[in-house]
Amino acid sequence: MMKTLKWKNTTSIGDILSEWIKACTLEQVKEGQLFGFIHEDKKLLIANLKGKIHATDLICTHADADLSTGFLSEEGVRCP
Ligand code: FES
């Protein structure tokens, strides 16, 4: 059985999602991987760092880089 990761929280913009949505399955964001997705107008990134799931904005504010194509390390996500 696949475990489904759902998203409910705030974006850095501060918008609160009023309901849980399906973001991806755990199979799509294995340990050490990044997964980007768009829900309505929100671009979000999920990271699996040592089995712990984190979420943030998909787009880097510096130069609009898609962070799902970046690199994940213990220091965080680095732009591609
Ligand atoms: S695109 Fe420059 S730091 Fe992310």
Q: Domain boundaries in the chain?
A: 30-72
Q: For ligand 1, atom 1, which residue shows the shortest CA distance?
A: 63
Tokens matching residue 27: 């199979």
End-to-end CA distance of the chain: 33
Fold of the domain built from segment(s) 30-72:
Rieske Iron-sulfur Protein (2.102.10)
Per-residue pLDDT at 26: 92
Give residue 80 CA to ligand 1 midpoint distance, Å. Answer: 8
Give residue 59 CA to ligand 1 midpoint distance, Å. Answer: 9
- Protein residues whose CB sits closer than 6 Å to any atom of ligand 1: 60, 62-63, 65, 79
pTM of the prediction?
A: 0.76
Give residue 3 CA to ligand 1 midpoint distance, Å. Answer: 32
Give per-residue pLDDT as tens, 8-54: 555 544 455 567 788 899 999 999 999 999 988 889 999 999 999 99
Give per-residue pLDDT as tens, 63-75: 999 999 999 999 9
| Encoded amino acid at 20, one letter | W
Per-residue pLDDT at 13: 42
SS (H, E, C) the chain: CCCEEEECCECCCCCECCCCEEEEEHHHCCCCCEEEEEECCEEEEEEEECCEEEEEECECCCCCCEHHHCEEECCEEECC
Per-residue pLDDT at 42: 87
